[in-house]
Amino acid sequence: MESTWEKPVLALVVRGIEASKKIESILGHFNPELARRTNQKSLRSCFGRTRQQNCTLPIYQQSKKNLDIKFWFGGRI
């Protein structure tokens, strides 16, 4: 079984009014099976397999911003 780090990863920083709500609507429900029933065009519906393999990492709010930005972008954002 391959680890996540052996596959390509895309990390995004999205800012703006209600950005996390907008991204959540694009991602769809955390459970890909439910996402397929509620929003067939969501990313998790199209690419997710199970709740554990749902093609996305959690969205972090402002409180964890510094930790996440340093990890993914070296603090350059």
Distance between CA atoms of residues 11 and 77, nearest Å: 12
Q: What is the end-to-end Cα distance of the chain in Å, rounded?
A: 33
> Per-residue b/e over 14-53, b at no fewer than 16 CB within 10 Å?
eeeeeeeeeeeeebbbebbeebbeebeebbbbeebeeeee
Q: Considering the entire predicted model, what is its pTM? A: 0.63
CATH number for the domain spanning 64: value is: 3.30.70.141
Counting the structural domains of the chain, the total is 1
Chain segment 27-42, per-residue pLDDT in tens: 889 899 999 999 999 9
Mean pLDDT rounded to a whole number for the chain = 77
- Residue 4 pLDDT class (50, 70, 90 cuts): low
Q: pLDDT at residue 21 above 90?
A: no
Domain with 60 in it:
4-73
